Amino acid sequence: MTQDILFTPYALGPVTLANRLVMAPLTRNRAAAGFVPGPHAAEYYAQRATAGLLIAEATQVSQQGQGYQDTPGIYSDDQVAGWRKVTDAVHAAGGRIFLQLWHVGRVSHVDLQPDGGAPVAPSAIRAETKTFVNNAFVDTSEPRALALEELPGIVADFRKGAANAIAAGFDGVEIHGANGYLLDQFAKDGANVRTDAYGGSVENRARLMLEVAAAVVDEIGAERTGIRLSPVTPANGITTSDPQAQFDHIVRELDRLKLVFIHVIEGATGGPRDVAPFDYDALRQAFSGAYIANNGYDRALAEAHLADDKADLIAFGRPFIANPDLVERLKARAPLAEIDPATLYGGGAKGYTDYPTMRG
């Protein structure tokens, strides 16, 4: 049983997943005009529909929420219609798909912002990272601190994004609360030095993330709402002095909202799992919904953590790019194809929909 557990069905709220593998969100910068999913997106996701759950690429809930060129949105009618083609293709292939709702906060550039304005953040602290704009990696722009009266608008954008995702045919949504983007920026004191009700204490810094989660739950139901968290990642220049206390509190409160899953990046995003001490089992124990484990998993580690009840589902990211049939390859213990780094971001079908399966 231990060796087969990765390939057993799993009931995620009202949705039955064919196996325990999750395709993590993967930004590919291929949106078309109007930030609509590109012409090859439906084929790309349908090719990977053998995953138990697909989580579509990070998708901004407003123009203000955009941080990179050619990423899709979920705030216009055209975007909803574009995503409907994707969900229809995935469902026709027997798959299940959630959409990741995204606001990048300070990880942006003036050339992407409405009227060339400054990116927004909890505090006016620049992100020590780069973004991709005008076909180049450049430093992020200096942000401005969000005013207190602007925060309900942020919550409303996530609420509307969730409603639009369901209208587009998604089975649910994942709120992006990780990787140094806006909700993570509010949660972590390296980016948040506010002195109002959204800064200072663990409870105050968690407030915006929890308000967004509550609004999305109210809009589409807890059984269709998950969230992604990254307690200790240094991604996008984010830091925090108290990750255990912060995320123990966040997960306890998310459990009260009865979210269907938490999707936890264990360690540094795309990097070492042991980048900083953290008790992930404490999050697992504090949350009664599904725990999706992410970061550096192979078949052996995935099976071990599932068998030891350390996780319910296992997310794989980059391996899905070059291996549309990753589930089948893992099951057969077959070699995995390698990514072409030159085609990761931007472009068309090459390096997107033309990776072959084991059978050609």
Residue 90 inside a domain? The answer is: yes
pLDDT exceeding 70 applies to what percent of the chain? 99
Are the C-beta atoms of 199 and 145 separated by less than 8 Å? no
Are the C-beta atoms of 140 and 54 separated by less than 8 Å? no
**How far apart are alpha carbons 62 and 171 in whole angstroms?**
21
Amino acid at 197: A
Amino acid at 344: L
Nearest Cα to 58, choosing from 180, 150, 144?
A: 180
Are the C-beta atoms of 6 and 303 separated by less than 8 Å? yes
Q: Where are the beta strands (DSSP E) in 248-346?
A: 261-265, 290-294, 313-316
The predicted structure's pLDDT at residue 3: 63
The predicted structure's pLDDT at residue 353: 98
Confidence bin at 359 (pLDDT 50/70/90): confident
Residue 281 inside a domain? The answer is: yes
The predicted structure's pLDDT at residue 234: 97
Residues of the domain holding 80:
5-343
Q: Where are the beta strands (DSSP E) in 34-129?
A: 53-60, 97-102, 120-121
| Pair of tokens at residue 347 | 């472009």
**How far apart are alpha carbons 95 and 121 in whole angstroms?**
36
Q: Across residues 149-178, what is the average pLDDT?
A: 98
1 pLDDT higher than 70:
no
Residue 283, classed as helix, strand or coil, is helix
The CA-atom distances, in angstroms, between 176 and each of 11, 296, 358 are 22, 19, 33
Residue 359 inside a domain? The answer is: no
| Maximum Cα–Cα distance across the chain | 59
The predicted structure's pLDDT at residue 2: 56
The predicted structure's pLDDT at residue 160: 98
Residue 64 sits in a domain whose CATH number is 3.20.20.70
| Contacting residues for 311 by C-beta, under 8 A, at least 6 apart | 284, 291, 292, 293, 305
**How far apart are alpha carbons 215 and 210 in whole angstroms?**
9
pLDDT, tens digit, for every residue of 259-313?
Answer: 999 999 999 999 999 999 999 999 999 999 999 999 999 999 999 999 999 999 9
Q: Across residues 329-355, what is the average pLDDT?
A: 96
pLDDT exceeding 90 applies to what percent of the chain? 98
Are the C-beta atoms of 352 and 343 separated by less than 8 Å? yes
The CA-atom distances, in angstroms, between 122 and each of 61, 249, 259 are 17, 19, 25
161 pLDDT higher than 60:
yes
Q: Is the dihedral of CA 61, 63, 65, 69 positive or negative?
A: positive
Residue 48 inside a domain? The answer is: yes
Residue 349 inside a domain? The answer is: no
Please identify every residue annotated as catalytic: 181
> Which residue is associated with the tokens 């759950």?
53
Q: Across residues 147-164, what is the average pLDDT?
A: 98
Provide the 10 A C-beta neighbour count for residue 33.
Answer: 8
Q: Across residues 314-332, what is the average pLDDT?
A: 97
Q: Where are the beta strands (DSSP E) in 194-338?
A: 225-229, 261-265, 290-294, 313-316
Residue 54 inside a domain? The answer is: yes
Residue 357 inside a domain? The answer is: no
Q: Across residues 187-210, what is the average pLDDT?
A: 98
pLDDT, tens digit, for every residue of 56-102?
Answer: 999 999 999 999 999 999 999 999 999 999 999 999 999 999 999 99
**How far apart are alpha carbons 20 and 50 in whole angstroms?**
11
| Contacting residues for 310 by C-beta, under 8 A, at least 6 apart | 280, 281, 284, 291, 293
Count of H-run helices and E-run strands, the chain: 10, 14
| Contacting residues for 219 by C-beta, under 8 A, at least 6 apart | 159, 162, 163
pLDDT, tens digit, for every residue of 104-133?
Answer: 999 999 999 999 999 999 999 999 999 999
**Cα 153 off chain centre by:** 21
Q: Report which DSSP code applies to 32.
A: B
Give the number of domains in the chain.
Answer: 1
Residue 360 inside a domain? The answer is: no
**How far apart are alpha carbons 18 and 287 in whole angstroms?**
23
Q: Across residues 244-253, what is the average pLDDT?
A: 98
Entry pTM = 0.97
328 pLDDT higher than 90:
yes
**How far apart are alpha carbons 59 and 284 in whole angstroms?**
27
